[in-house]
Amino acid sequence: MGFVIGIVLGVASGFGLIMALVYYGNIRAKRRADLAATVAAFSRMTVQDARKLLTPEEYPPWVIFPQMEKLKWLNSQLEKLWPYINEAASELIKSSVEPVLEQYRPVILASMTFKKLTLGTVAPQFTGICIIDSDPGEIIMEMEVQWDGNPNIVLDVKTHVGVALPIQVKNIGFTGLFRIIFKPLVDEFPCFGAVSYSLRKKKDLDFTLKVIGGDMSIVPGLSDSIDNMIRDAIEDSITWPVRKIIPIIPGDYSDLELKPRGILEVKLVQAKDLSNKDLIGKSDPFASLFIRPLRNRTKKSKTINNQLNPIWNETFDFVVEDPSTQHLTLRVYDDEGLQPPQLIGCAHIPINVLEPGKVKIEWLTLVKDLEVQRDTKYRGQVNLELLYCPFGTENQILNPFSSNVPLTNVERVLKDTTDDDVSDIERKTSEKKHEVILRGVLSVTVVSAENLPVMDLTGKSDPYVVVSMKKAGTKVKTRVLNETLNPVWNQTFDFVVEDALHELLIFEVYDHDTIGKNYMGRYIMTLTRVLLEGDLYDVFDLDGTKSGRLALNLKWTPQPIMRDV
Ligand SMILES: *[C@@H]1O[C@H](CO)[C@@H](O)[C@H](O)[C@H]1NC(C)=O
Ligand SMILES: *[C@@H]1O[C@H](CO)[C@@H](O)[C@H](O)[C@H]1NC(C)=O
Ligand SMILES: *[C@@H]1O[C@H](CO)[C@@H](O)[C@H](O)[C@H]1NC(C)=O
Ligand SMILES: *[C@@H]1O[C@H](CO)[C@@H](O)[C@H](O)[C@H]1NC(C)=O
């Protein structure tokens, strides 16, 4: 809900907002002069102190101010200023937050405006402050803010059938870490051109909603949709890397804005050993993936029914805005049909571990909660292939799969689509990329296996391997080796591959019996690794069995690149 943004805005900027107010001239002259003096004192201290403090020879990267003193000073200043902030900010919040409110309004409501908004008498407390070592052209400050306020906020909500509901927001408890960036640094007072601020981390946000003279349950689902709306609105409008920029000295600050910096291509290949959430049968897993947890920027895979080792083989593209801090988050759910899906587990990976232009093949282990690592039960693993391509590097990075084709067609796409929004960039990128077809010959040598499970009464097995190319639908078999758990086949098969980027290679080990066969595990891989390495030998653990490893040698011989138009 907008008020939170407003509060965030109020609290977040801390002195940033105070400065803004001063410069926007929203308050009377006398008060403005008082405020200006305070702000001037503070900013002078900040810039000069910081410049002194930040000489890297003398101080470690995390320079802590004389913590207690600074906090005491800040909090007492804030307390003194709070009545003015409250008065001035209320209007500012109303006018800046109502449009946000409108944008995120749940469909079940016809309108949503502020009826009353004051921030109350309790000022937020700064509970921590530090300066982060960064490049010399900027000063980055992070402050932790805690607010158990007594604001008076009433929303005027109208439903489509014309019912007006005054909804009161009560008992707000908020803790968050705000980042404030002074950039660019200039010589003229107050030493910086603009202030940017952002909610770096939301630690805690509680509040209760109450219909004045009524009950929230009048409109079914109202409480939940308002709750969702709050989370989306905060995420989309103020949570890092989204930032607000307040120009202090006139100038062009467009380079401070958040912009798409690159594309992350994610191939969701498969998962294994997912924990079962169903009493009858097995889970029906699907995955949801996002970088920013906004509903319209979250991608969802297909549901694979009744399967704890699903193969998804789906590719998703994500716009990356800040590769140094953003993560890809993945959640795997059991699809429960009409009921809400049940979480099986989640995982995340920071973008900054990916070398631009290099494919990374990952098996991520699922956990229950990314924040709290208390529950360490094994929930399964998910296999992803990740490729991060920053914009504007087309001449420096070659396509990892073939130097004849540009790394991504992203750059070219971006050139004529700079005005498009994020979803257009993502869509056009995937369309272009699917035009790239890689053909060639893959030689697969099934070398040997070791420590296979016992299937026969004799304490041995008669193993053989079925090798299949899933997309092409071709299948070959090794010979059967009698009575061994450590067979050496050393047999080579050649496959003509028509679309290597989208193939899956499946190895299934069976025990030969006079009647039928017994399954002894499998290993599934994409061709990504062999495309990158050309020739690879490795030993792979079999899935779906208690023991067993398979030694393979793969060789790739590419054919000239073709592109469908
Ligand atoms: C997501 O929704 C927000 C709010 O409705 C909108 O501003 C934004 O453009 C949408 N983004 C995408 C990628 O569709
Ligand atoms: C994987 O997905 C791609 C793109 O949807 C498709 O062309 C290909 O046939 C799939 N491969 C397999 C092995 O199912
Ligand atoms: C394996 O055993 C079967 C009979 O059980 C026999 O027909 C076959 O020749 C044996 N193969 C080898 C390679 O010894
Ligand atoms: C597999 O066969 C090749 C030649 O066909 C031979 O050089 C190699 O030593 C064999 N490897 C094993 C493990 O038997």
Lookup: tokens for 187: 């010589």
Count CB neighbours of 558 within 10 A: 16
Residue with the smallest CA separation from ligand 2 atom 9 is 471
Residue 435's contacts (CB-CB under 8 Å, 6 or more residues apart) are 409, 563, 564, 565
User: What's the CA-to-centroid distance between 463 and ligand 3, angstroms?
Assistant: 12
User: Residue 321: which pLDDT band, with cuts at 50, 70 and 90?
Assistant: very high
Domain co-membership, 310 together with 193: no
In angstroms, rounded to a whole number, what is the distance separating the alpha carbons of residues 224 and 235? Answer: 17
pLDDT higher than threshold 90 for residue 108: no
pLDDT at 105: 79
pLDDT higher than threshold 90 for residue 210: no
Residue with the smallest CA separation from ligand 4 atom 3 is 490
Domain co-membership, 291 together with 338: yes
Domain boundary among 239, 256, 273: 256
Question: In which domain, by residue range, is 552 found?
Answer: 439-562
User: What's the CA-to-centroid distance between 296 and ligand 1, angstroms?
Assistant: 6
**537 CB near ligand 4 (under 6 Å):** no
Residue 317: left if φ>0, alpha if ψ -120 to 50, beta else—which one?
beta
Cis link prior to 323 (omega < 30° from 0)? no
pLDDT higher than threshold 60 for residue 345: yes
Within a domain: 81: yes
Within a domain: 157: yes
Domain co-membership, 215 together with 251: yes
User: What's the CA-to-centroid distance between 262 and ligand 1, angstroms?
Assistant: 18
- Please write down the long-range contacts of 359-362, taking CB distance under 8 Å and 24 or more positions apart: 359/385, 359/386, 359/387, 359/400, 359/528, 359/532, 360/385, 360/386, 360/387, 361/385, 361/528, 361/529, 362/386
Residue with the smallest CA separation from ligand 1 atom 7 is 103
The percent of residues in the chain predicted with pLDDT above 90, rounded, is 30
Within a domain: 294: yes
Q: Which residue has the tokens 């990128």?
A: 429
Lookup: tokens for 497: 């591959």
pLDDT at 436: 65
pLDDT at 285: 96
**471 CB near ligand 2 (under 6 Å):** yes
Q: C-alpha distances in angstroms, 107 versus 77, 210, 357? A: 42, 20, 42
Domain co-membership, 287 together with 372: yes
Lookup: tokens for 141: 């400050």
375 vs 561, more confident? 375
**502 CB near ligand 2 (under 6 Å):** yes
Residue with the smallest CA separation from ligand 4 atom 2 is 490
* pTM of model > 0.95: no
Within a domain: 1: no
pLDDT higher than threshold 50 for residue 56: no
Within a domain: 59: no
**63 CB near ligand 1 (under 6 Å):** no
Which stretches of 61-106 are DSSP H helices? 67-104
pLDDT at 439: 87
Within a domain: 61: no
Q: Residue 267: nearest ligand to its CA?
A: 2
pLDDT at 254: 86
pLDDT higher than threshold 90 for residue 35: no
In angstroms, rounded to a whole number, what is the distance separating the alpha carbons of residues 523 and 415? Answer: 41
Domain co-membership, 421 together with 554: no
Within a domain: 29: no
Domain co-membership, 415 together with 549: no
Domain co-membership, 85 together with 165: yes
Q: Residue 311: nearest ligand to its CA?
A: 2
pLDDT higher than threshold 80 for residue 151: yes
**423 CB near ligand 1 (under 6 Å):** yes
pLDDT at 434: 58
Domain co-membership, 124 together with 251: yes
Choice from 230, 258, 296 to test ligand 1 binding pocket (greatest atom count within 8 A of CB) = 296
Within a domain: 38: no
24 vs 524, more confident? 524
pLDDT higher than threshold 70 for residue 41: no
Q: Residue 483: nearest ligand to its CA?
A: 3
Q: Supply the CATH number for residue 488's domain.
A: 2.60.40.150
User: What's the CA-to-centroid distance between 513 and ligand 3, angstroms?
Assistant: 11
User: Residue 11: which pLDDT band, with cuts at 50, 70 and 90?
Assistant: very low
Q: Report pLDDT digits (tens) over 496-534.
A: 999 888 899 999 999 998 888 889 999 999 998 998 888
pLDDT at 269: 95
Q: Residue 237: nearest ligand to its CA?
A: 1
Domain boundary among 373, 398, 433: 433
Residue 366's contacts (CB-CB under 8 Å, 6 or more residues apart) are 274, 332, 344, 345, 346, 347, 379, 380, 381, 382
User: Residue 431: which pLDDT band, with cuts at 50, 70 and 90?
Assistant: low
In angstroms, rounded to a whole number, what is the distance separating the alpha carbons of residues 537 and 522? Answer: 17
pLDDT higher than threshold 90 for residue 274: yes
Contact (Cβ atoms closer than 8 angstroms) between residue 344 and residue 334? yes
Residue with the smallest CA separation from ligand 1 atom 5 is 103
**Average pLDDT for residues 97-107, to the nearest whole number?**
77
Overall number of domains in the chain: 3
Domain co-membership, 428 together with 292: yes
Domain co-membership, 511 together with 539: yes
Backbone angles phi, psi at 330, to 5 degrees: -130, 135
Residue 426 alpha carbon, nearest atom of ligand 1? 13
For the CA atoms of the chain, what is the radius of gyration? 29
Domain co-membership, 197 together with 273: no
Contact (Cβ atoms closer than 8 angstroms) between residue 24 and residue 252? no
The mean pLDDT value of the chain amounts to: 79
- Closest CA relative to residue 90, chosen from 202, 2, 212, 158: 2
Domain co-membership, 198 together with 313: no
Q: Report pLDDT digits (tens) over 386-395.
A: 989 888 765 5
In angstroms, rounded to a whole number, what is the distance separating the alpha carbons of residues 34 and 490? Answer: 85
**470 CB near ligand 2 (under 6 Å):** yes
pLDDT at 295: 77
Residue with the smallest CA separation from ligand 4 atom 12 is 490
Secondary structure class of 496 (helix, strand, coil): strand
User: What's the CA-to-centroid distance between 312 and ligand 2, angstroms?
Assistant: 9
pLDDT at 403: 60
pLDDT at 206: 83
Domain boundary among 256, 276, 306: 256
Residue with the smallest CA separation from ligand 4 atom 8 is 490
Q: C-alpha distances in angstroms, 13 versus 67, 138, 177, 178? A: 19, 17, 11, 8
